[in-house]
Chain A
Amino acid sequence: MYRIKATKLFKRFRNLKVLKDINFDLTTGDSMAIVGRNGSGKSTLLQVLLSTYTPTKGKVEYFSDEKAMDDSQIRSQIALVSPYLNLYDQLTAEENLKFFSTVSGLNITGKEIEVLFDRVGLGGRGLDYVGGYSSGMKQRLKYAVALLKKPGFLFLDEPTSNLDDQGKEIVFNIIEEFKPLSIVIIATNEKEEYRLVERQLRVD
């Protein structure tokens, strides 16, 4: 059972207040959408939750079975799909997957790689360089990398950006599959995306 608790989060960039008094407490099985107008701080909140931005005030805590998790444990359980997260263009999709699985401490077999590629609709394209992929294919590959870990915390920023209808369907299925197994947090303005989750947090 995982838990994420955000307490009195504030984030300011010089004179610009982006986040103001954000609080929530989610456990495995909970899902939440962060909604707000463009530039309201949805992606900033995700980055604060992922510790890639330090909050100006407040704290984010991760728990596993009510025990506080350290950085390495958190890293092993979080996955992010986002427009500002890029994979290696000069590596093939398969090389990317193998690299991220090894540095995440996972063993992945060739068969599992094939299954993952089929799952995200990239079957037969694993040996292509990512640099030659379309933006939608790159987005699908990010999902393959995110699913590697079977994460306890799944963060999705604009989850269906660049995807065609088939790609969106794949993402909706992934969200539905992960909702009971992990904590799913989505930053979005799309109604069809935030309707998939149970809670909403407005940041504007």
Chain B
Amino acid sequence: MSRGNSGLINKTLAVYAKDMRLEFRTKYAINAILLFGISTLAVVSFSLGQSGLSPQLLAALFWVVMFFSAMSGLAQVFIREEEAGTSLALKLSADPEPIYFGKLFFNLTLMCIMTFVITPVFFIFTDAPTDNIPVFFVILILGVFCLCAATTLVAAIIARASVKGALFSVMSFPIMLPLLMVLVKGSEKALKNQPITEIATELQFLVSFTVIMIVLSSLLFKFVWQD
């Protein structure tokens, strides 16, 4: 064995690949996320019918489903390490930065899969307008980044608590509230067929939020992870 020069990128990719491999073999988080998302959408759509919900309601419904689906699965990335007793081996081997970024990219992948499945189902079940779909997708992609950026650090914080699931939602809520309000507003405008220039403020907020959360989380993660 030689001391290699594998830097942050190689180590991050190793953490990411390891988590993806574990997820493909256990399907622990993805099943939780998809089951929650699709069943919630199905229940809501069957209760309300395709009765022409307003864009405001449709946007709120979409992000409520996305938020709670994310809550049901994104914390697993750290909970799994704690419950399996593998976090100690990881702490003693890897620097905190590649662990944080590996887990962040893993959560991002989970969210992308979830979005890929839930979004078409949402449009089918609710008969939401599809005229302005590119603008809706811009909001959606930024929203996915924001959700992951905001929840990955919280997931690390709650992983060692005894009531992890409830605590994850409770701790994430204050961080997510302003984010969800902006996402709902932006999605509503997109569903109302407004041009992208009309949602510039929301887009600026989402980009800033993502950058700030990722920078802050990467700086704070080592204190959360090591203590």
Contacts and interface: CB of A to CB of B under 8 A. Distances in A.
B11 interface: yes
A99 B91 contact: no
Among B5, B25, B89, max chain A CB count under 10 A is at B89
Contacts of A99: 14, 18
Contacts of B226: 51-52, 71
Interface residues of B, number: 30
A112 B2 CA distance: 10
Among B3, B84, B92, max chain A CB count under 10 A is at B92
Interface stretch (A8-16, A74-82, A120-128): A74-82
Interface in B1-44: 1-6, 10-11, 14-15, 18, 21-22, 25-26
Given A91-B21, A91-B22, A95-B21, A101 B1 contact: yes
Contact of A78 (B1, B18, B26, B92): B92
B162 interface: no
Interface in B60-85: 84-85
A84 B222 CA distance: 22
B89 A87 contact: yes
B88 interface: yes
Interface in A20-52: 50-52
Interface stretch (B51-59, B93-101, B111-119): B93-101
Given A85-B88, A105-B3, 7 more contacts: A75-B93, A87-B86, A88-B18, A95-B21, A99-B14, A103-B11, A150-B1
